Amino acid sequence: MSKVITSKANLDFGIENLAPMETPGCILMVKPTYFSVDYVINPHMEGNVGNVDKEKAMQQWEQVRDALGQSGLTIHELEGASNLPDMVFCANQSLPYVDDDGTREVIMSIMDSDHRKNEVPLIEEWYQEHGYQIHHLNYKKIPRFEGMGDALWHRGKKLLWGGYGFRTSLEAYHFISDTYKVPVIALKLKHPEFYHLDTCFCVLDSKTVLIYPEAFQPKGLNLINTMFERIIEAPKSEALEQFACNATCPDGKHVVIQRGATETNRKLREAGYEVIEVDTGEFLKSGGSVFCMKMMAW
């Protein structure tokens, strides 16, 4: 039976009551060989069609890869496809999971934009090669779900945070909760600029989250405040212009983040994290940064 929580009124557990979950042991990345801005499907792409420096994009991607490599996790690199310029944002096409017995599973996405739908079967091939049990959503009942762009695991716990409203349907989380047998806390997103949960919400460790609070409705903020002991808030300018909340913390210690998020980085360092600043300027033109460019897997 699915357990999808949308308000504090139907929250009947705390972090201490949740079962532990193995943390990811590898990272999947897709090379930006074919990355470009060829169309507009989010506000950040406006004015950037045809405006990507491909050589610089490759250099920036390699910088992100090397920074993530400092976590010690294995990185798997895939080639992209010539007709899929956004495939580099490989957080979006799937939601992997591992159960108590070590069985690896994955739910494949239903992309909101037709431009991106053909990315999903190519990413699915990687999961097939690595022995994952693969699940598909019923597109007749669930029109859209964009993987870990919107669905983020609470570090070390069997709890999923799920954004919805722009790229993912709330109904998707009932299927996910039933399939993985985990509770989902669903957060409705307010602003088109923050169209995925990973643009405004970054789990750093089991007790800490980095957020841009104005991206959420009051019910969502109440849930976030209830479940995390420590909340670090990014200012609007850095959340919007540097994609500060699209950072990633692969090991609970190092935070890889777009450079120039001065106030956010100060707060992170004061909280004890080692900040690794990278330049993802070419990818910001397409509405993505560090978190979008990788998939944490098992």
What is the rounded (10 degree) CA torsion for 180, 209, 165, 115?
A: -80
191 in active site:
no
Residues 161 and 168: their CA atoms lie apart, in Å, by 12
The span from the CA of 91 to the CA of 123, in Å, is: 10
**125 near 155, Cβ under 8 Å?**
no
Phi, psi of 123 (to 5 degrees): -70, -35
Other C-beta atoms closer than 10 Å to the C-beta of 231 total 15
How far is residue 283's CA from residue 160's CA, in Å, rounded to a whole number?
A: 26
The whole-angstrom separation of Cα 155 and Cα 201 is 13
b/e 192-224 (16+ beta carbons within 10 angstroms → b): ebbbbbbbbbbbbbbbbbbbbbebbeeebbebb
255, β-bridge pairs = 275
C-alpha to C-alpha distance for 41 and 49, rounded to whole angstroms: 11
196, 200, 202, 254: the catalytic one is: 196
**What token pair was written down for 192?**
């088109």
Sign of the torsion angle spanned by Cα atoms 251, 286, 95, 198: positive
Cα end-to-end distance, the chain, whole Å = 25
Q: Active site includes 135? A: no
Show which residues are catalytic: 196, 292
